[in-house]
Structure 1
Amino acid sequence: MRKEPRILHISAASRWGGGENHILNLCQEMDSASHIVLSRKGSDLSKRLKLENIEVYSAPLLTKFDLRFVWKIIVLCKKHKIDLIHIHDTTALTLSIMATYLSANLPPYILSKKTSFPIKDRKRTLYKYNHAQIKKILCVSDITRQITSEKVMDQEKLVTVYHGTSVPKENIGNIILREQFNIPKNAILVGTIANHIRAKNLETWVNTIDYIVNKLGHTNYHFLVIGSKTDRTASYLQRMKEKGLENYCHFSEFIPDASVLIPQFDISLMTSQSEGIPQFIYESFYYKVPVVATEVGGIPEIITNGENGFLSRPHDGVSLANKLVLLSQDRSLQEKFTKISYQRLLENYTTKRMAANTLAQYKEVLYGKNGTGS
C-alpha cells in the first residue's frame, strides 16, 4: 500500500489569520506525522503549532528575499524526504521559487490562493505564478479561481477547494464579553473577528456604526472587533472619537481560538473590501449566529442575499446598517438564516471535506489522476 505523501507546508506570515488556521486544520485532519511546517521565526503560527504538537521549524525572515529561509526549505526537503511542498502565501511563493535556483532536486509545488486579489501584471510576479515547479493552484473560491485564471497560462492547474471549519474548542478561559467590555445586557452585540488590515476595511465598520447611532438614532447596539491591531488602528480610534462612538464599540486584542466567543454575538458583521472566504463566516454558520457581510470575494458563494444572510456592496455602510437593523428586529428571519447556513456548512464546508479534497490534489500531482502512478 502506498504511504501517505510527506508534505512540507511553507508560510511566511507573522500574525495569525485564516490562512494560518487553514494550515492547522490540514495538519490535524490528515495524518499529522506526514506533515511538517516551515514558518517565520517568532510567528504566531510557529507558537501555535508547537502547542498542538505539530512538527514545525522556523527560519529568520527579515526581508522577502532572506536566503536563510530559502536555504531552510532545501535542508528540510532533503532531511525529511519531502514528496511535495504546499505554499500558503505570496512571500512564501517568492522564497520557494528562489529555492529552485539553489537546488535542482526539489519536489513539486502546490500553491494555495486564499484571496481574491488579482495577480499583478508584472514580469517577475507573472513568472513566479506560472513557474513550472507549481503543479496545482488551489483556489479558495470560484471567484478566486476566475480572477487567478486571468494571469495563469495553464488553466489545468487551477482548482477550487473550499476551506471550512471544524468543531471548535469548548472554552478559552470563560471570557464573558459583556462583562469584560461593560456591555449592557439588553444591548444587541454585533461581533467581528478580523485583524486591522486593509482588506477588512474597518473604515466601513466605523461608518456603519456611525449611521446606526447618529443617523438612525439606535443606541441599543454594541459593536466589537476581536483581532490584532496594526498601524491602522489609531486612525479608526480617532474616527470613533470624532463621531462620539466610544460608548458603542470596542476593539479587543487578538484572542487565540476567538471563534468560541461567537455564540455571545447576536449578529456577525463583516465589512471587508477584499476576501477569499473568511473563516469567521464559516464559524458563525456553525454557531448559528446570523451574518451581515459585504459581497466580496467568495462570500456570495456561501451566502445568498436574503436567503441565509444579508449582503451589501463593499464600502456601503448605509446599506450594511439598514440590513443589520432589519435583521436584528426580525427573529424569524434570524432563525431562517442560521438554519440554512448551518446545513450548508455541514454539507459542504467542513475541514474534513477540505482535507479530503486537498489530499486528492496532492495524490493527483504525485501519482496521476487515478492515484496509482505509472
Structure 2
Amino acid sequence: MRIIQIIDSLDIGGAEKMAVSFANSLSSRMEFSGLVVTRKEGSLKKSIKDDVNYFFLRRKHRIDFWAVMRLRNYCKKNDVRTIQAHSSSFFIACMVKMTYPKIQILWHDHNGIGVIPKREGAIYLQFFSIFFKGIIAVNTELEAWARRKLFCKNIIYLQNYVVENNDFDKTTLLKGEDGKRVLYLANLRHQKNHFLLIDAVKKVHNDFKEWTFHLVGNDSNNDYSTRLKAKIKEYNLENVIYIYGSKQDTEHIINQCDIAVFTSNSEGLPVALLEYGLFCKPVVSTSVGQIPYIVQHGKCGFISKIGDSEGFSVNLSTLMADKELRLKFGKEIHKVILETYSEQVVIDKYFSWVLDLKNIKIN
C-alpha cells in the first residue's frame, strides 16, 4: 500500500501528533508512507522518521489551485493510492480527487463532540463526504454522528495511540516543588476552558499552598489568553499558576508532574491523556469525549461535570491529599493505555479495516 497523511500544520496538537504518528508507524509496515503538511511547518517536524516521505505544500489560500496541482503531481509521482486527511485537510484532498479520481480519501475526524452542534448546518462537510472512501472517528460519539449525517458509511471508531519513548528531550524545567505539581497540557483556547481550573485552584489553594499548577500549550496572545492571565492576577495566583507556552519536550514535562488535568468543554480522544497515562499520572477531568471511558471515575482518576468547578475542586483536592491514591490511579491508567491504546493494537485494527475497504489496491 502507498498512503500519505495530510495535516494543515506541524504545530503541537493532538491531530498533528497523530498525523505524524501514523506516518511514522506505517513507514515500517508498507511500501510507501508520506506526510504532507499543507500550510505551516512546526516543531513536530523533528519527530518525523527518516523513512517517511515528507512534503511541505506551502498552501496560501483556502482555494489554492496551484497547491492542489502540486499535491496531485506529488500523488502521481509517488503512485499514491490513498490519502488519509486529518481534520480540515479533507477539503484539499477532495480537490485533488476531483482532478485525479483514482485517489481514495480516508477522513480522520479528531474534533471533540462539542463541535457537533456547529456542524449541523455544515452542508459542505456533508457534500464532501460523498468523496470519502472511509471515515475514522476518534471517539464513539463522533462515529455515531458520522453515521447519522454523512454519506460515507465505511466508518470506524479508531482510538488514538501513543508510542513509548524513553529517549526524550529534557529542556523545560517546571517551577514549584517536586511531588506537588499539577499539569494541564492544552493549547490556550476557549474549548479547553482553563478558567474552570483557575476557579478550582482558588478554592483549594488555602489548603494546599505548596502545590503549583502548570499550563503548557500554544499561547496565541489573543483575547482568551489576555482574559486568562488577568483572572490569574485578579486571584493573586501568579506564583501558583504558571504559563509556559508551546513546548516540544512534553514527555519530560509530564514526568515532572504528579497530577494531570483536563477542564475542557469538549474533546475527542486527546493524545495528552494517553501521554499522561503512559507516565502513570492520575487524571482529574471533565466528562468530555472518550476521557470518562479511559479514566473510569474512581479507577484511574476522577470525572466531573462540564463547567462544575466545585466538583472539580473536590476531586482535585482528594488526589492532592492522598499520595497512595495518586500512585494507585497512576498504575491503573498506565495499564489501560498499554493494553488498549498502544501502537501495535491500533495499527493492527487500522490495517484490518483498510484492507476491508473495497477498491483499495494492494501492491
- The normalised TM-score by structure 2 is 0.90
Alignment of 1:253-268 (within 5 A): 253-268=245-260
Secondary structure class of the residue paired with 2:165: coil
Partner residue in 1 for 2:227: 235
Candidates 35, 38, 48, aligned match of 1:37: 35
How far off its partner does 1:365 sit? 2.3
The residue identity in structure 2 corresponding to 1:77 is C
Structure-1 separation of matches of 2:44 and 2:171: 25
* Count of equivalent residues: 355
Q: Aligned equivalents of 1:334 and 1:54: distance in 2?
A: 39
Q: Does structure 1 residue 170 correspond to structure 2 residue 167?
A: yes
Instruction: Tell me how far 1:39 sits from its aligned partner.
Output: 0.5
Q: Which amino acid aligns with 2:320?
A: S
Matched letter for residue 225 of structure 1: L
CA drift at 1:275: 0.7
Task: Report the secondary structure of 2:296's partner residue.
Answer: coil
Tell me how far 1:52 sits from its aligned partner: 5.0
| Candidates 211, 226, 233, aligned match of 2:203 | 211
Q: Is the 8 A contact 2:4 2:35 kept in 1?
A: yes
- Between the aligned residues of both structures, percent identity stands at 19
Matched letter for residue 223 of structure 1: F
For the pair 1:113 / 2:121, whether they are aligned, the reply is: no
Are 1:26 and 2:22 an aligned pair? Answer: yes
Match of 1:304, SS state, is helix
RMSD: 2.3
Matched, 1:249 2:241: yes
Contact 1:20/1:45 (<8 A) preserved: no
Matching residue within 184, 192, 198 for 2:177: 184
Shift of 1:244: 0.9
2:35 aligned counterpart, secondary structure: strand
How far apart, CA to CA, are the structure 1 residues paired with 2:91 and 2:79?
22
- 1: CA distance, partners of 2:334 / 2:177: 28
How far does the alpha carbon of each residue in 1:72-101 deviate from its partner, in whole angstroms, 9 at most, with x for none?
2211111100011100012x1112222233
Match of 2:84 in 1: 86
1:305 to partner: Cα distance: 0.9
Contact 1:46 1:57 in 2 (8 A): no
Secondary structure at the counterpart of residue 9 of structure 2: coil
Tell me the residue number matched to 1:290: 282
Map residues 225-374 of structure 1 onto 2, 5 A cutoff: 225-230=215-220, 231=222, 232-365=224-357
Change (3 A) 1:77 1:343: same
The whole-number CA distance in structure 1 between the counterparts of 2:66 and 2:200 is: 45
Contact 1:38 1:59 in 2 (8 A): yes
TM-score after normalising by structure 1:
0.88
Question: What is residue 17 of structure 1 aligned with on the other side?
Answer: 13
Change (3 A) 1:205 1:297: same
One-letter amino acid of the counterpart of residue 261, structure 1:
I
Which residue of structure 2 lines up, in the alignment, with residue 222 of structure 1? 212
- Compared CA separation, residues 49 and 307, structure 1 to 2 (3 A): closer
Conserved in 1, the CA contact under 8 Å of 2:259 and 2:281? yes
Change (3 A) 1:275 1:287: same
Distance 2:247 2:71 in 1: 30
8 Å contact kept, 2:4–2:83: yes
8 Å CA contact 2:281, 2:333 repeated in 1: no
Unaligned runs of 5+ in 1: none
Cα shift readout 1:245-297 (whole Å, capped 9, x = no counterpart): 10111011211131232121110011111111111111111111111011101
Q: CA shift at 1:170, angstroms?
A: 3.0
- TM-fit CA distance, 1:372: 7.9
Superimposed CA distance per residue, residues 225-259 of structure 1 (whole angstroms, 9 cap, x where no aligned partner): 11111123222111111111101110112111312
- Could you tell me how far apart the structure 2 residues matched to 1:244 and 1:218 are? 15
SS at match of 2:347: helix
Structure 1 SS opposite 2:355: helix
Q: How far 1:143 moved relative to its partner?
A: 2.0
Alignment partner, residue 98 of structure 1: 95
Could you say if the C-alpha distance between residues 351 and 197 of structure 1 is closer, same or farther in structure 2, counting changes exceeding 3 Å?
farther
Single out whichever of 32-41 and 322-331 deviates more from structure 2.
32-41
Structure 2 SS opposite 1:306: helix
Secondary structure of the 1:11 match is strand
Q: Does the CA-based 8 Å contact 1:11-1:88 persist in structure 2?
A: yes
Q: Does 1:57 align with 2:55?
A: yes
What secondary structure, in the 3-state scheme, does the structure 1 residue paired with 2:298 have? coil
After superposition, give the CA deviation of every residue in 1:112-148 in whole Å (9 maximum; x if it has no partner): 11122313323223211x21x3111111121221233
SS at match of 2:228: helix
